[in-house]
Structure 1
Amino acid sequence: MPKTAFKIGDIALKTPFVLAPLAGITDTSMRSLCWKQGASFVYTEMVSGKGLWYGDKKTNQLLKIGDPEEMTGFQLFGSDPEVMAFAAKELRDRSNALLDLNVGCPVPKVVKNGEGSALLKKLDVLQEVVAAMVKYAGKPVTAKIRMGFARNENTAVETAKALEDAGASAVAVHGRTREQYYEGSADWKVIADVKHAVGIPVIGNGDVMSGEDAVRMLDETGCDGVMIARGALGNPWIFREAEALWNGDMKPVTPSDNEKINMLLDHFALICADKGDNVAVREIRKHIGWYVKGMRGASYVKRTANKITQASELIELLRGLLK
């Protein structure tokens, strides 16, 4: 009999495995593919609170939800309580399930504005922002953090407690610091420490590259959920795999090269439908590299795809890989 997972506020998740918010990656197309492969929750790309404040059109485009059946969280970034309260009010009646605050983005231009990982150094401001969002959101507010800011810093427990006190319904913990970016290995012990310290659900994140990794993170840290990021790139099947192993079933057969190419073609078609052929041809290029990794002729395909400007030509190139 299938297990039950956990709740974020009153939101019941069917499995512990969720798709991480990834800038430039988790658009409606990526979210749809991962949802269909078993992700129990998906997040938008990072959305600017100031963008909503100023009515930026591109910001609103990031908030598009393709299939209303998908459990989707809007991830916002910002550090001004007034702006973030406004954003929460603006999004109150949207069909998203929750709002998530980014407290982990390491990108310099975000950090210099006092946003993303910079909030790890200002817990008083962080609490004000979260409390303001909670007051007006009308739905759960969560946050995604890193273990600390400086390379050898570990403030995850302190940060998670501050979030809980401010009214956050859950916290996702990436086991790296801001200064590490994505170097080295994620420290899963930090995730376990946070789980022991707070009463809200804890979602672990970092170095989950397979279904086995996802289940192992649950076992080793005691966390409630697992947020999968890079492991889903070119591999939406990771959610299907993780769910099967979590339920004690046999690991699904690894997708064949043909299955990968067909999924890539589906992915491309979804982007074309959502954003038009011209944009899709450019955006699918990064995904091609992930899907065809390890295949014979992968380097040629990536080089050729980078020169193609017509959707029909790209489809012909990819279909040529089918056996």
Structure 2
Amino acid sequence: MHIGPYALPNNLFVAPMAGVTDRPFRMLCKQLGAGYAVSEMVTSRKDLWNSLKTSRRANHEGESAPIAVQIAGTEGPMMAEAAAYNIDRGAQIIDINMGCPAKKVCNKWAGSALMRDEAGALAIVEAVVAACAAKGVPVTLKMRTGWCDTERNALRLARDFENAGIAMLTIHGRTREQGYKGYAEHDTVAAVKAALRIPVVANGDIDSPQKAAEVLRHTGADALMIGRAAQGRPWIFREIAHFLATGEILPPPATREVQRWLTDHLHEHYTLYGEDAGVRSARKHIGWAVRALPGGEAFRGVMNTLDDCDAQLRAVHTFFDHLAEDHALLPAVLGAANQDTIALQA
């Protein structure tokens, strides 16, 4: 599969999630089988580009190509300028956020709120595509099925976006009104795929190899995008890839493998965020990794009291050392779709 000039190793993608898909997490998911990953959304507000948050989100050191950056905003010229800014800092693909359902985003008429103003949404796409075309960079877009159940306009918008030059379209199978409640429906994705010539990606509730195969069959989509199910279980990408290729379910990973993946991830995380921010923001990643494991809930309680990176790492090592004594393979872990996650899938 290709996005513009970039050949991807497979059709399993990591969804952009605010507060989750930073560079260390994207690199881990790629290591464990994801063929493509999109960054957390970067604001189009120029006055925030020099903030610590934005500088971290624009950090791509050591990340394998293609580097994909998602931008969010409400005005075409600002979004075009944001695209150019990120391209100058290493972005090779620009993704437009029209899918985030968070109130703090939609209240400013960004994210999925843009779908309510079809003319405005198209103007943003045209401005960003023009700015990126001048630099030879493809533009993709992620959106929802519509604003609410009575305003499902994804198909109409998708046709306009394709005509405006979007190179690939991802659809989360929920409306903005749903947020992450209820179930994703993929009939809309199937309708969009049947109508478009560009690649279409299905997203929403893909939390197992079997569900991945079912969504591919139902939609005819070119690729799958996985978000919450990868939290604490980044090896889901290699599980899905193996199942799609062979029809077989991989055994759980070795407990020591998971221990190594998590600790390597934590080292990268601390390097990006530093001691104070790193130890706090790492808690959610550790919590997702252990919450369904034996003793995981009790460990989370202890781990959340630790306030330095070395202590956090020692605690993780001790937990997995004890777990490995009784379980050579990781015990069954609940799908991330059942987790009360705090992440925002953009």
TM bracket, shorter-chain basis: over 0.9
In structure 2, C-alpha distance between the alignment counterparts of 1:302 and 1:217, rounded to whole Å: 34
Instruction: Give the distance between the partners of 2:35 and 2:47, measured in 1 at CA.
Output: 27
Q: After TM superposition, give the deviation of residue 51 of structure 1 in Å.
A: 3.9
User: What is the Cα deviation at residue 158 of structure 1?
Assistant: 1.0
> Distance between the aligned counterparts of 2:244 and 2:52, measured in 1?
41
Selected match of 1:163 from 161, 164, 172: 161
Which AA in structure 1 matches 2:228? R
Q: Secondary structure at the match of 1:100?
A: strand
Seen in structure 2, the aligned counterparts of structure 1 residues 54 and 285 have a Cα distance that, compared at 3 Å, is closer
Look up the match of 2:263: 265
The aligned counterpart of 2:113 is 118
Report Cα offsets for 1:232-254 as digits up to 9, x if no partner: 10111111112112222643221
Which residue is equivalent to 1:12? 7
**1:12-64: CA deviation from partner (whole Å, max 9, x where unpaired):** 22211010000000011101100111111111111101147765453232111
Instruction: Summarize deviations over 1:100-152 as a string: whole Å, max 9, x none.
Output: 00001111121111111111111111111111111111311111000010244
Q: Is contact 1:35–1:70 with CA below 8 Å preserved after alignment?
A: no
Amino acid at match of 1:170: M
Give the Cα–Cα distance (whole angstroms) in 2 for the partners of residues 38 and 95 of structure 1.
23
Is structure 2 residue 69 aligned with structure 1 residue 74? yes
Pair 1:242-2:240 in alignment: yes
Using CA pairs below 8 Å that are at least 6 residues apart, which structure has the higher relative contact order?
Answer: 2
Structure 2 counterpart of 1:132, one-letter code: A
Matched to 1:77, the amino acid is: A
TM-score by length of 2: 0.87
Match of 1:300 in 2: 298
Q: Percent identical across equivalent pairs?
A: 34
- The equivalent position to 1:25 in structure 2, one of 8, 20, 24, is 20
Asked if the contact 2:71/2:83 (under 8 Å) is kept, the reply is no
Q: Deviations 1:255-275 (Å, cap 9, x if unpaired)?
A: 244433332222211111222
Q: Which sections of structure 1, spanning at least 5 residues, go unmatched?
A: 1-5
Does residue 1:130 correspond to 2:128, yes or no? no
In the TM superposition, residue 11 of structure 1 has moved relative to its aligned partner by: 1.9
| Residue aligning to 2:317 | 319
Q: Does 1:197 align with 2:192?
A: no
| Greater displacement, 45-54 / 137-146 | 45-54
Q: Give 5+ residue unaligned stretches, structure 2.
A: 325-346
- Number of the residue aligned with 2:221: 223
| Distance in 2 between residues matched to 1:260 and 1:112, nearest whole Å | 39
Aligned to 2:93: 98
Give the deviation of 1:214 after TM superposition. Answer: 2.0
* CA distance in structure 1 between the partners assigned to 2:63 and 2:318 by the alignment: 35
CA contact (8 A) 2:231 2:289 kept: yes
Match of 1:3 in 2: none
TM-score by length of 1: 0.93
Matched, 1:49 2:44: yes
Conserved? CA contact 1:260–1:292, under 8 Å: no
| Cα distance change of structure 1 residues 51 and 298 upon mapping to structure 2, 3 Å threshold | farther
Deviation at 1:84, TM superposition (A): 1.1
Distance 1:53 1:298 in 2: 38
Q: What is the Cα deviation at residue 69 of structure 1? A: 2.2
Measured in 2, the distance between the counterparts of 1:240 and 1:101 equals 27
Amino acid at match of 1:118: A
Q: CA RMSD in A?
A: 1.7
- Among candidates 179, 182, 185, match of residue 180 of structure 2: 182
Preserved contact between residue 92 and residue 136 of structure 1 (Cα < 8 Å): no
